[in-house]
Structures are given as C-alpha cells and as structure tokens.
Amino acid sequence: MSYFHQVDSIGHRFGTDSPQTRAAVLFVDNLIGSATGPGIANEAKLSRLSVVDIYPLVTALLGLPITEAIDGDAATIAPLLQ
C-alpha cells in the first residue's frame, strides 16, 4: 500500500470529484509505471507488472541469484533490463 500526499492534499482542497484531483491521480498513476536508473532499459514500458515480479527485478539489478522457488516471473521484467 502506498500513500501519495499530492492526491490527498488536492482532494481535500478541491474535492474528490474535481478535475484537479483527477489530474493528480493520473499524474501519480503515470509515475507508478515508470522506472529509471542504472540497469533499466531507456523508455522501457510494461503493460502489467505484479508485485510478485518486483523480487526478480531487484535480484536481477543487484546481480543476485534466486535461490528458492518464488511466485514472480523473471520473464515479465526482462524487457526492463539493459
């Protein structure tokens, strides 16, 4: 679970059904689907990433082996990696 104070603050100021709140939600929604940094392919996008796929992403970025069975799928995150 995550908390984004921008959406909360704007929602309280302008109302939950306001255009300002909708714009803030869309802005944060776009940020959530973004990843940048060393090891991440430029402008790589995934249509869907499950929480269980974060573990193989982090292990791949750190160069660590996955030593036990997990629910995540490394093939899902392959397009993100350089």
Give the CA distances from residue 55 to residues 9, 22, 69, in Å, rounded to whole numbers and listed in that order: 32, 31, 11
Give pLDDT tens digits for 31-41: 666 666 777 77
Q: Which of 48, 20, 55, 8 shows the shortest CA–CA distance to 32?
A: 48
Q: In the numeric block, which tokens belong to residue 24?
A: 């803030």
pLDDT, tens digit, 9 for 90 and up, residues 19-62: 998 888 888 776 666 666 777 777 666 666 676 677 887 888 88
Return d(Cα 50, Cα 54) in angstroms, integer. 7
Q: Where are the domains of the chain?
A: 1-32, 38-82
Amino acid in the structure at residue 26? L
